[in-house]
Structure 1
Amino acid sequence: MICVTGLRGFPHVMGGIESHCEELLPRIKALWPDHRSVVLGRAPYLPAAHNEHRGVEIIGIPCPRSQHLEAIVSTFLAVLSARKRGADLVHIHAIGPGLLAPFAKLLGLKVIVTHHGTDYHRAKWGKVARTALRAGEWLALNFADRVIAVSPSLATQLKRRFPARAQRISYIPNGTSDLPGDADPDLVLERIGVERGGYLLAVARLVPEKGLHDLIDALHASRSTTRLVIAGAADHESDYARELMARAGDRVIFAGVQSRATLKCLYENCALFVMPSHHEGLPIAALEAASCGAPMLLSDIPANLDIGLEPRNYFPVGDVAALTELLDTDRAAFRIDSDTVRARFSWDRAAEDTLAVYRSALAPGRAKSRASGLPGTVEG
């Protein structure tokens, strides 16, 4: 049994890690059908205490719905639950939950941690939280059996900072998605209040590191009359989200959390997808936009550059004047080669590579692994 924690759950739960697991885990289940895959998510975000999605069990772990407590409390309880359920391995997502890697090891579990980005650089966290996140990163890198980094720049950084653990760090990127297409584009756009090719699109949580304030300021300063649709919401009540809505004006539509079918319609029909983020892992929203062929304009942070678009598709992070000028440019200049992006970022390949990491971590206990049906277990 593989237990997965550090995420809220899926489907229909907002978040990059949630989208990552929703794409990845069913593919691993398909490659290894004999194993039991269990997501130990956060009960306040899930419609039922026990559910299943494409062969993956999803169990809600009770926890407070709190920005500062929910991740650590739910992960602690999830690790205990994994041990009680007889899991062979626990896969922890993100460095905050990574604080529990030594605890999982103490309980005799094999541990994989996926590092989705340096969360201690996020503007929403104070000094204590940033210290805890740095500690989580250090503990994950030093106690996990294997660490997965979702971007090449992050993998390089980690290997440089933790040279003794470099051989245990793997780069496995997020993939582009074939989003479901069962929503009627005309009805979707009418409901949101825009027309085909007549709006800018941002898909992000309403938190400072996503840079939406830069985009709104640039929109107001530009000569463009195009409306901006922001799909996403705040994880928790925040002054930033309230201030963002107050400064937006009537040209900005806050569409809230949308289904993936609706997002596909929005990506495919926007004039321009804009990601002004100050911090990302490897942004799934940008990969989804690319897979749908949207013209794209991204901030030049390392995670966005890792997608490998042309220089014209990037602007200096935080530079509102530069972004304003680009919003006044012909949107055709920001078209991309979606086939190239799709070829580089594949969820099928990510599933194969992640299963290889599981196999590597479980190899020393090969007798137990064989009993559980792990394919291709390495002799060791």
Structure 2
Amino acid sequence: MLQRTNVSSSDPAGSPIICVTGLRGFPHVMGGIESHCEELLPRIKALWPAHRSVVLGRAPYLPEPVGEHRGVEIVGIPCPRSKNLEAVVSTFLAVLDAKKRGAGLVHIHAIGPALLAPLARLLGLKVVVTHHGTDYHRAKWGLLARSALRAGEWLALNFADRVIAVSPSLAAQLKQSFPERAHTVTYIPNGTSDLPGDADPALVLERLGLDDGDFLLAVARLVPEKGLHDLIHAYEQSNCTAKLVIAGSADHESEYARDLLARASDRVIFAGVQSRATLRCLYERCAMFVMPSYHEGLPIAALEAASCGARMLLSDIPANLDIGLDPQNYFPVGDVAALTERLNADSADFQVDADSVRARFSWDKAAEDTLDVYRAALAPRRVPPRPSNTPGTFVEG
């Protein structure tokens, strides 16, 4: 249960405008960062109702240029719909917009958009960056993009007032790589979601041609690092009689996505982007949820599936291991033979303790911890005394 925090006019944080960027927007926009912000920001607004929370998203993904969701303002920033340009262009314009609005703090999500952290600091804004994962390991990026993402990570760690890491392994890696900035890094995990329950399960299953408890489920964008090609290959080699349902789509047109969609059949169903209420129906009724990813931050889809009581099989990458399931719930990433063997097993072998997962990953707790980070970033920083020949101390705003 959320507990409201009393933030008085004497609080060092005051009641500023906080602008959030780096995401496409929400609600009803596909993506892990988008789901993260949709869960987190309204909770922070409820804890601290006096502040203005403004999401500066990407106009091509939003139905209206200006909107509102659960107390959070949503503003579309014009930008090209381009895999290589949209994040940087939209964040650049968002930082300028945040300054124009008189924001006290800008919260940048992901290390690509964090390339603009120095600009935000130069404009006098406090900066928080949430590091959602080492995106330079994603298969879709070339050498130039990977170099830019590594630069974004470096700039985030060196210019942001505070950095949030969504998984313990990522937080440990950042503290080891940037020891002089370790004190700015805070681990705040994603949470499990109470997905809406207003979809009719019978209609959902009928629409997709499924039987209750007789389908495997993957929820992911159609990009190489999600490992869906491995899953389809293993499924086609297995003796599994349940259908395979893949919910999600590609952000941008790609040969990889076209090749995946070409493998659709009466047994391999590409369901496209589904509402959160529909996903709840699928999580609760699948024989097993499978995530064969090569790269994740802390996967929200897996946390959602676990909170709905789905049986689960995940690749053994660090971010998935951070969820803390039993060893039988993991298989070696990229090992199609091992995945095939697991798909031939009884899905009952992959049950998880939903209560345990929900207890360890809470959006309410994440909101409280993120508010603490905001208040620490907004507080005046006291600088050490000047040398004795220039006496006095000063406070940097």
Asked if TM exceeds 0.5, the reply is: yes
Structure 1 residue 201, shift from structure 2 partner: 0.1
1:327 maps to a residue whose letter is: L
In the alignment, does 2:298 pair up with 1:279? no
Distance 1:132 1:27 in 2: 32
In the alignment, does 2:297 pair up with 1:288? no
2:162 corresponds in structure 1 to: 146
2:346 corresponds in structure 1 to: 330
2:372 maps to a residue whose letter is: A
In the alignment, does 2:123 pair up with 1:107? yes
Q: Report SS of the residue matched to 1:332.
A: helix
Distance 1:286 1:221 in 2: 24
Structure number with larger C-alpha Rg: 2
**Which of the residues 206, 214, 218 maps onto 2:222?**
206
Contact 1:43 1:62 in 2 (8 A): yes
C-alpha distance after superposition, 1:37-61 (max 9, x if no partner):
0000000000001000000000000
C-alpha distance after superposition, 1:230-258 (max 9, x if no partner):
00000000000001112343311100000
In the alignment, does 2:148 pair up with 1:128? no
In the alignment, does 2:45 pair up with 1:29? yes
Correspondences of 1:212-231 after superposition (within 5 Å): 212-231=228-247
**Which of the residues 292, 300, 304 maps onto 2:320?**
304
In the alignment, does 2:291 pair up with 1:256? no
Once superposed, which parts of structure 1, at least 4 consecutive aligned residues long, lie more than 2 Å away?
A: 247-250
Distance 2:152 2:290 in 1: 31
1:128 maps to a residue whose letter is: L
Q: Report SS of the residue matched to 2:50.
A: coil
In the alignment, does 2:370 pair up with 1:354? yes
Contact 1:267 1:289 in 2 (8 A): yes
Structure 1 residue 178, shift from structure 2 partner: 0.3
Correspondences of 1:30-109 after superposition (within 5 Å): 30-109=46-125
2:35 maps to a residue whose letter is: S
Distance 2:37 2:22 in 1: 10
1:113 maps to a residue whose letter is: V
Q: Identify the range of structure 1 (249-258 vs 155-164) with the bigger mean alpha-carbon deviation.
A: 249-258
Structure 1 residue 365, shift from structure 2 partner: 7.2
1:375 corresponds in structure 2 to: none
Distance 1:9 1:66 in 2: 16
1:125 maps to a residue whose letter is: W
In the alignment, does 2:188 pair up with 1:172? yes
2:369 maps to a residue whose letter is: D
Distance 1:46 1:247 in 2: 30
2:377 maps to a residue whose letter is: A
In the alignment, does 2:248 pair up with 1:238? no
2:331 corresponds in structure 1 to: 315
Distance 1:178 1:247 in 2: 33
Query: RMSD in angstroms over aligned alpha carbons?
Result: 1.0
2:285 corresponds in structure 1 to: 269
Contact 1:41 1:74 in 2 (8 A): yes
1:188 maps to a residue whose letter is: V
1:13 corresponds in structure 2 to: 29
Distance 2:261 2:178 in 1: 41
Contact 1:141 1:162 in 2 (8 A): yes
C-alpha distance after superposition, 1:180-239 (max 9, x if no partner):
000000001111110110100000000000000000000000011211010000000000
1:328 maps to a residue whose letter is: N
Give 1 or 2: higher helix fraction: 1
Distance 2:52 2:355 in 1: 34
Contact 1:206 1:240 in 2 (8 A): yes
1:158 corresponds in structure 2 to: 174
In the alignment, does 2:263 pair up with 1:247? yes
TM-score (norm 1): 0.96
- Seen in structure 2, the aligned counterparts of structure 1 residues 161 and 365 have a Cα distance that, compared at 3 Å, is closer
Contact 1:204 1:232 in 2 (8 A): yes
Q: Identify the range of structure 1 (243-252 vs 26-35) with the bigger mean alpha-carbon deviation.
A: 243-252
Distance 2:50 2:228 in 1: 44
Contact 1:216 1:248 in 2 (8 A): no
Distance 2:191 2:201 in 1: 24
Distance 2:22 2:371 in 1: 18
**Which of the residues 183, 193, 212 maps onto 2:199?**
183
Gaps of 5+ in 2: 1-16, 383-396
Q: Report SS of the residue matched to 1:317.
A: coil
Distance 2:229 2:204 in 1: 26
Q: Identify the range of structure 1 (265-274 vs 247-256) with the bigger mean alpha-carbon deviation.
A: 247-256
Distance 2:70 2:363 in 1: 15
